[in-house]
Amino acid sequence: MSQLLVSIASFVLVVGVLITAHEFGHFWVARRLGVKVLRFSIGFGKPLIKWQGRDQTEYVVAAIPLGGYVKMLDEREGEVDPQDLPQAFNRKSLPVRSAIVAAGPVFNFIFAIFAYWLMFMHGVSGVRPVIGDVAPQTISSAAGFISGDEIRTIDGSSINSWEEALFTLLEATVKGEAVNVEVIRPEVGLLERRLDLSRAPDALKKSDLLKNLGLSVWRPEIPPLIASLEQNGPAERAGFLAGDRILSANDLSFEGWSEWTKYVRERPESLIRVVVERGGESVELALKLGRKGARCAEGYGYMGASAKVPVGYGSNLRIETAYSPLDSASRALTRTWDVSLLTVKMIGKMLLGEVSLNNLSGPVTIAKYAGESSRIGLSALLGFMALVSVSLGVLNLLPIPVLDGGHLLYYLVESVKGSPLSEEAQLAGQRYGIAALLLLMMLALYNDLVRLIC
């Protein structure tokens, strides 16, 4: 329950801040360009807080935190006092109207730059990019990677963490290019490998990019020692106790917890004979494994027990890097540009069917990751907010009627033909735009529910 509350609170915080940044862009530019703003609302529905500003603008915080709007003086929405006509939105020139509409997405990009800047200055936590198991008969095994290799550069770009490696590999995978990867191999030194991503055309059609490329994150092995048991889970029902050390199953011995986990996952609902060490003696138990994830797939085996993690586990793999204000600003600009460009390319590949629509996420997934980011720390939360802000900026610039990009498309047509589109054409476009957005939202919500159930 506490995790749910954290996720909800984090979702409201993240979405509220990003919506405020977006709508403030419209509001601030409209005011600077002489347009009268009647209402500035964060959220939809019933107003929770409402007050009147000195500028006669009504400020509202509403009950449903899934959007917002800036209502401007406009003759198309009602009668306007003759003395206020110069402040009406529809009376402004085409460049002024375009600037006001574009300001929302632009402020999302500005916020992303600011969030990334704070993140880089505060310090970026990560995990050293040491490769774990390399799946056979994949492009990674063909390139010659082995477990224990640590990635140092990808096409000349310095790589310090798995986050940086994933982002760089994702960019290259979208392009379908081959990349040169420098790795440090223990007791050997610096080696160069060429990873041909053009040979992995389906790598983006499943969510786990590393797995699709045949790579995994290296994790130090821990002993197969049970720390705790799920109440009434398969292990507890079989008679396992906290402190038991797993020695073997069906006469197959185990040295580490990862071996044991893999063995269990491959045998859902199997009955296995397990020997454990308990108090210096060997005890044999009959374990009937359970099955998880079967609602949406074949599922996998589980026993309902967690491993005892040694103190300081993985500490030699964790890194944290902080940068100067100037260097952080440069990195923030570069990261915002790279993420924006990558988002555009991913949307294009989704439309072409080259990237799975399963990658679309809705409010449930956003809430989940917002909660996880807030629990990890400030840097993770800032990075997540920046990423979502960029996504909002790009999505709002799509040429879909009812979005900012749709209005800008109308203005582009107006600049070419010398007059605005007819009201009938604009209304028809809005209907199609609303239908497209509803379908998109339904698909994103469906993906959320599938992830939640499975």
pLDDT in tens, 26-69: 999 999 999 999 999 998 888 888 998 888 899 999 888 878 89
In a domain, 268, yes or no: yes
Asked, for residue 246, whether it belongs to a domain, the answer is yes
**Domain CATH code at residue 236:** 2.30.42.10
pLDDT tens, position by position, 352-373: 777 777 767 767 677 766 777 7
- What's the CA gap between 197 and 199, in Å, rounded? 5
Give the helix ranges, DSSP H, for 51-122. 94-122
The burial class, CB within 10 Å (0-12 / 13-18 / 19+), for 354 is: middle
- Final residue in a domain of this structure, among 282, 307, 332: 307
Write the single-letter amino acid at 284. Answer: E
Q: Tell me: the pLDDT tens digits for 413-445?
A: 989 988 888 888 888 888 888 888 888 888 877
Say yes or no: 339 and 452 in one domain.
yes
Q: Look up residue 242 and give its DSSP letter.
A: T
Q: How confident is the model at residue 408 (pLDDT cuts 50, 70, 90)?
A: very high
Of 8, 18, 7, residue with least CA distance to 371: 7
The string of pLDDT tens digits covering residues 246-262 is 999 998 999 899 899 99
> What pLDDT is recorded for position 297?
66
> Whole-angstrom distance between the N-terminal and C-terminal Cα of the chain?
20
Domain count, the chain: 3
Number of other CB atoms surrounding residue 242 within 10 Å: 14
Which among 374, 388, 380 has a CA at the least distance from the CA of 336?
Answer: 388
Q: In whole angstroms, what is the distance from residue 222 CA to residue 225 CA?
A: 8
pLDDT of residue 1: 55
Known active-site residue 23: yes
d(CA 454, CA 295): 6
More confident residue, 427 or 287: 287
Q: Which residue has the tokens 């440090």?
A: 184
**210 and 235 assigned to the same domain:** no
In a domain, 415, yes or no: yes
| DSSP-assigned beta bridge partners for residue 60 | 41, 50
Based on the fold, state whether residues 435 and 328 are members of the same structural domain: yes
Asked if 245 and 276 sit in the same domain, the reply is yes
Q: Mean pLDDT over residues 334-350, rounded?
A: 89
Task: Specify burial of residue 353 (Cβ count, 10 A radius: 0-12, 13-18, 19+).
Answer: exposed
pLDDT at 425: 85
More confident residue, 55 or 410: 410
* 23, 58, 77, 372: the active-site residue: 23
Residue with tokens 């140092």: 152
* Percent of the chain scoring above 70 in pLDDT: 94
**Cα(403)–Cα(114) distance, rounded to whole angstroms?**
24
Q: What is the mean pLDDT of residues 229-241?
A: 95
Mean pLDDT over each residue of the chain, to the nearest integer = 88
Residue 46 lies in a domain: no
pLDDT at 41: 93
Q: Identify the three-state secondary structure at position 404.
A: helix
- Between CA 121 and CA 105 the distance in angstroms is 25
Is 55 within the bounds of a domain?
no
> Which of the four pLDDT bands, split at 50, 70 and 90, describes residue 184?
very high
| Beta carbons of 302 and 266 less than 8 angstroms apart | no
Longest dimension (CA), the chain: 94
Please say which residue of 265, 288, 321 terminates a domain: 321
Q: What is the mean pLDDT of residues 187-194?
A: 92
The distance from CA 293 to its chain's CA centroid, rounded to whole angstroms, is 22
438 and 345 fall within a common domain: yes
Same-domain check for residues 113 and 148: no
Q: What whole-number distance in Å separates Cα of residue 355 and Cα of residue 344?
A: 12
What residue numbers bound the domain in which 134 lies?
125-216+314-321
CA distances from 253 to 107, 236, 308, 373, 452 (A): 58, 21, 18, 38, 35
272 contacts 249 by C-beta, under 8 angstroms: yes
Lowest-pLDDT range, 183-192, 288-297, 353-362, 372-381? 353-362
Tell whether the model's pLDDT for residue 378 goes beyond 60: yes
Contact 74, 90 (CB under 8 A): yes
Model confidence at 177: pLDDT above 80: yes
In residues, how long is the chain? 454
pTM for this entry: 0.82
Could you tell me if residue 432 is inside a domain? Answer: yes
Q: Taking 70 as the threshold, does the pLDDT of residue 207 lie above it?
A: no
